[in-house]
Amino acid sequence: MNDTPARVRELTLYREYFDLVASGAKTIEVRVKYTRLADLAPGDVIRFRVRDGDDTCEVEVGRVTEYPDFEALLDGEGPGSVNPTATRERQLADIRAIYPPEKEALGVLAIEIVRRGR
User: Between 3.40.190.150, 3.30.1360.170, 2.30.130.30, 1.10.10.10, what CATH number should domain 8-115 receive?
Assistant: 2.30.130.30
The string of pLDDT tens digits covering residues 48-75 is 999 999 999 999 999 999 999 999 999 9
Residue 1 has pLDDT above 60, yes or no: no
C-alpha–C-alpha distance, residues 87 and 103, integer Å: 22
8 CB burial (10 A radius; 0-12, 13-18, 19+): exposed
The string of pLDDT tens digits covering residues 66-110 is 999 999 999 999 999 999 999 999 999 999 999 999 999 999 999
Q: Where are the domains of the chain?
A: 8-115
Contact 8, 43 (CB under 8 A): no
CA 66 to chain centre: 12
Strand partners, 61: 113
Residue 25, Cβ neighbours under 10 Å: how many? 14
List phi, psi (to 5°) of 45: -115, 135
